[in-house]
Each structure stands twice: as structure tokens, then as C-alpha cells.
Amino acid sequence: MKRVFIKTFGCQMNVHDSEVMAGLLIEGGYGITEDLPEADVVLLNTCCIRQKAEEKVYSQLGVLKGFKRRRPHLVIGVGGCMAQLEGRRLLERAPVVDFVFGTHKVFELPDILDRAIAARGEPRLRREGSKIISIEEGGSLWGGVKPRRKSKISAYVTIMRGCDNSCSYCIVPYVRGRQKSRPSQEIVEEIEDLNSRGYKEVTLLGQNVNSYKSQLDFADLLREVNEIKGIERIRYISSHPRDMTDKLIKVLPELSKVCEHIHLPVQSGSNRVLSRMNRGYTRESYLKIVAKLRKLIPHISITTDIIVGFPGESEADFADTMSLMEEVVFDGAFVFRYSPRSGTRAASMPEQVLDEIKIGRIKKIIEIQAGITRQANERLIGKTLKVLVEGPSKPDPRRLAGRSRSNKVVVFEGPSDLVGMLVPVRVAKAHTWALEGEIPVNGNHLPNDEECCIMQETRRIKGGMG
């Protein structure tokens, strides 16, 4: 049995794609290993949303070049978004790679790998010498494979692929294709199967889950999933502000299993920059969405993405972003320097911002957000949160770690048999990116439990959203 080592770069969608790849390979007669030195095949599942993501892949391929020199039989494949975008150029820059497969060909991976190992041709695959490139569109989108999930507690469930938005900086529509929504019945059946295997939490994945549309829209899909017995928590990522409808906002507090956390990328606080980005909303409309969410779900945790140094971003535009952060009070933010992506409109825009200016701005944004996040976390000291225990804490394996409904990481001491359980944890200390706590003496009681009160409080709110 050939053993395959898979390394993943990028977003949650890529993480889940790697789980699908592993499941497909197991069905195809391959083994999966977490130990690189014992692998016969190495697969890199890549990201290309920013230049830094590509640089990490090429750096890894440089390491594998030396590894393959010592083990000539090693087969190396590159898949995912960067493979879809680069194709032949990737092989030219990194000859150590034996085959490339794009985002549309994940479900053909066992066949592609068979061909690469056997060094045989295939009419529908384009070959460059002994190399195989498979990136054309038209492959299966969903398949019927069971992913090899790393977690036994929380699972990703893909509800759609691709994106129909045309953000001027984004490469996703080019590498993932047009938006395609998965049939709702398939999604429900997958989650019912996860429930039968003991999973407590699911995260619905899509480039823009708000625009999901099959037999149901996203609000109605959430209703369906909320009715599945056994599943305790429902999360989703990512939401696009342009498609954040009143119907969806109103339904969220009605669904007891949907967690009080939303990742709502704003990207900029400047209307001028948002227009150049082609985001489809304004600063004011974004703030209205936040106000509606907080009226119906008072304790909701809101996180976001922010890009600094977009072409033409002035000091005044940057100041608008900083002021929006302070007005919204995000619980967390992923902050990035703008990275030109070939083929996007933004890459050819005039007024490209100098790197030294981007670096200065990103430092300011990170500093501001760190202070906001810490203050938000400090307000939870003394509160008792319901935590889904995920396993040992990575920084300190002697302690356990899990997440609250509002997606706060909570670290505490407790026996290992709590893994996979929902337990009350009283917050004792607050840090920027995590909370520390302890299980109350009376572990069945949740005094001052801010999160447990959310559903009762929001159900009492009547009338419109303003």
C-alpha cells in the first residue's frame, strides 16, 4: 500500500478538501500517513489568495527537492487553487513536482495519482514529458465519498463551491469557478450521518454562504439543519455583507443551535475603497447590518477581514477603516496587506501603495484590534461559558481547550474524558486570543452564563430590526 502525506495551505475550504482527498485515496487503496519520512507520495493542497501563500508553497517544494534527492521514488503532487492558477508554470518553476491537479479535479485524484505513479498517459490529461497536468473544468463537484476527518467532534460540510462576486482584488472566481450550490437534501443527509457517528458540531462552508440557493435559500437551509437531532452546534463561514438579507438576520436568533458568531468581512471602512474593490455595499450599509444583528442577538461575536494598502488607499481612507473598527468593536480581525493577483482588475490599477506604507498601516491595525479584542475578552471574566471541548491545548497539552458558542478559545484544566463534551467553564483570565478558566465546583450549574442567556433574551425581542 502506497502511503500519502497531505499538507494543507489556506482556508477552511482547503482543509476540508484535504479531508475529501484523504477519503478518496483510502477508497482508492492508498494509505494516509502523518509522518513525512514514511510517505511514498506527498500532496500539497495549495492557496493563492495572496503572494505570501504562494511563497510558502515554493518554499515547501524547495525542502521536498532535497528530500526527493535522497528518496528518488517519492512522488510529489500539487493541487488546489495555486495549481489551478499556475498549471504548467508551476512545473517549470518546480521540476520536482510530478503532477498538478486543479480545484475541479479533486474527485479524480486517485486516478490521476495512479497514472502519475505508473507513468502512463491518459488522453484527457495534458502531459508534459512524464508530468501530468489536470486542471480543466468539468469534474465532479460533490461525489459520494466520506472525507477522512481529523476531528471526531466538529466537522466541515461544504454547501457550495465557487463564487459569482467580482471583487476587483480576488482570484477565487478564477480558480474555484462560478458559484454552484449543493442540493440541500445531500447536505442534510451528510449531517445526519455525522450525527449518527457522534459529531456535536458542524460548520457549513462556502465562499459566500449567504448566497446559497438550491431547493432552499441559506436561511431555510439553516432551519433544516437546526432540526437535525443530536447536532448541538451549527457554524457557517463566510458571509458576504452584500447578501446579508433581513430574512437571514431575523432567522438567526430563532435557531437554538446556530452559534452567536458571524464572520462578516468588511475589507475596508472607506466607501471610496469599497467601491474600487467592487464589494457591493457601503460603510453605512455595513454598519446597519451590524446594528440589526446586535439588536436581535445582543451578545453576538462579530469577526472580520481587513485589507490594508489597496490601490489608491489614502491616509484618509485608512483612517476610515480604523474608525470603523472602533465603531463596530470587532471581536477579532484577520488583517492582510493587499497583494496583487495577476488577472484581477486591482492588479492593474494605478496608485499601487508602497510596501513600506502597507507595513506601517498593518502594524497600526493589528495594534488597534489587539486592544479591542483584549477588552472584549476581559468583559467575559467571571462569566461561565458553555465550551465544546476539542482536545489538549496546543501550547500546553496538560490542559484542555475548546470553543464557546461565540467562538472564543477557552483553555482550562480537566480530565481527558471531557473531550467531545459540552462543559461549563468560568472565565478567570483574558488574553488577546484566548481565555483561561476553570470548571465550577457545581459543574451542572451555569450562573451568570452570558451565552446561555442569549437565546432567552433574543426570543423576548419583538418587532422590526430598525
- Render 300-347 in DSSP notation, one character per residue: -EEEEEEEES-TT--HHHHHHHHHHHHHHT-SEEEEEE----TTSGGG
Instruction: Report strand pairing: 301-308 vs 131-134.
Output: unpaired
Residues 450 and 388 in one domain: yes
The reply to whether 323 falls in a domain is: yes
Residue 318 near residue 268, CB atoms below 8 Å: no
Distance CA(446)–CA(98), nearest Å, equals: 56
Residues 208 and 271 in one domain: no
Residue 228 sits in a domain of what CATH number?
3.30.750.210
Residue 389 sits in a domain of what CATH number?
2.40.50
Residues 332 and 356 in one domain: yes
Residues 317 and 406 in one domain: no
Instruction: Please give the model's pTM, rounded to 2 decimal places.
Output: 0.90
DSSP code at position 183: P
Cβ atoms within 10 Å, residue 354: 9
Q: How many residues does the chain have?
A: 466
Which pLDDT score is estimated for 81? 95
Written as nine digits, the cell of 428 is: 478567570
The reply to whether 36 falls in a domain is: yes
The reply to whether 53 falls in a domain is: yes
Task: Out of 79, 109, 134, pick the residue that ends a domain.
Answer: 134
| Exposure string for 247-267, b = 16+ CB within 10 A, e = fewer | ebbebbbebebbbbbbbbbbb
Residues 402 and 367 in one domain: no
Residues 64 and 101 in one domain: yes
- Whole-number Cα distances in Å, 343 to 97, 126, 133, 348: 24, 23, 21, 9
**Helix, strand, coil percentages in the chain from 3-state DSSP, rounded to 5:** 40, 20, 40
The reply to whether 143 falls in a domain is: no
Strand, helix or coil at 285?
Answer: helix
Distance CA(114)–CA(120), nearest Å, equals: 9
Strand partners, 436: 411, 429
Residue 339 sits in a domain of what CATH number?
3.30.750.200
Question: Greatest CA span in the chain, whole angstroms?
Answer: 69
Residues 155 and 204 in one domain: yes
- Whole-number Cα distances in Å, 59 to 10, 54, 66, 93: 15, 9, 12, 12
Nearest CA-CA partner of 426 in 414, 436, 413, 416: 436
Is-cis flag, bond preceding 59, omega within 30?
A: no
* Residue recorded with cell 432552499: 216
Written as nine digits, the cell of 122 is: 491518459
Residues 312 and 202 in one domain: no
Residues 284 and 327 in one domain: yes
Give just the sign of the alpha carbon dihedral 247, 248, 252, 253. negative
Written as nine digits, the cell of 375 is: 477588552
Task: Out of 356, 378, 400, pick the residue that ends a domain.
Answer: 378
Helix orientation angle between 283-296 and 315-328, rounded to the nearest 10 degrees: 10
Residues 16 and 106 in one domain: yes
Residue 243 near residue 210, CB atoms below 8 Å: yes
Task: Out of 363, 378, 393, pick the residue that ends a domain.
Answer: 378
Written as nine digits, the cell of 414 is: 480537566
Strand partners, 156: 203
Distance CA(10)–CA(372), nearest Å, equals: 26
Cβ atoms within 10 Å, residue 405: 26
Residues 253 and 320 in one domain: no
DSSP code at position 100: E
Residues 244 and 272 in one domain: no
Counting the structural domains of the chain, the total is 4
Class of residue 422 by CB neighbours under 10 A (exposed 0-12, middle 13-18, buried 19+)? middle
Residue 20 sits in a domain of what CATH number?
3.40.50.12160
The reply to whether 465 falls in a domain is: no
Written as nine digits, the cell of 367 is: 495594534
> Which residues make Cβ contacts (< 8 Å) with residue 415, sequence separation at least 6?
none
Half-sphere exposure in the Cβ direction for 323 (13 Å, CA): 11
pLDDT means per 10 residues, the chain with 466 residues, are: 95 94 96 95 95 94 93 93 93 93 92 82 46 78 84 96 94 91 96 96 97 96 97 97 97 98 98 98 98 96 98 98 97 96 94 97 97 96 97 94 97 96 97 95 51 37 35
The reply to whether 139 falls in a domain is: no
The reply to whether 237 falls in a domain is: yes
The reply to whether 145 falls in a domain is: no
Which pLDDT score is estimated for 454? 35
Class of residue 451 by CB neighbours under 10 A (exposed 0-12, middle 13-18, buried 19+)? buried
Nearest CA-CA partner of 115 in 94, 96, 101, 136: 101
> Which residues make Cβ contacts (< 8 Å) with residue 50, sequence separation at least 6?
336, 337, 339, 341
Domain housing 280? 265-378
